[in-house]
């Protein structure tokens, strides 16, 4: 998960840099940050995680404390 977050942030920072000519300009139309955002969402959905990790993944995962 951290690796996906890292690559997403790097892709966002790369967007803010001016584009020149060459191979990077040819691929400028590809939405790399969006690609990583989709992978992060898929990872979360597969594991039942919430978008911002505000709580446990499943209601059944909440421990019951007696006492």
Residue 11 · residue 36 · CB < 8 Å: yes
Check residue 45 and give its pLDDT: 87
What is the C-alpha end-to-end distance of the chain, expressed in Å?
36
Check residue 59 and give its pLDDT: 58
Check residue 49 and give its pLDDT: 81
For the chain, which ranges sit under pLDDT 70? 18-29, 53-67
- 23 membership: H or E segment, kind and range: helix 23-26
Check residue 67 and give its pLDDT: 57
């Amino acid at each position: 998960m951290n690796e996906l977050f890292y690559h997403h942030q790097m892709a966002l920072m790369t967007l803010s840099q001016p584009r020149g000519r060459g191979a990077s300009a040819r691929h400028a139309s590809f939405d790399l940050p969006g690609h990583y955002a989709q992978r992060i969402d898929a990872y979360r959905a597969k594991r039942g995680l919430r978008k911002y990790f505000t709580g446990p993944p499943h209601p059944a995962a909440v421990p019951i404390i007696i006492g």
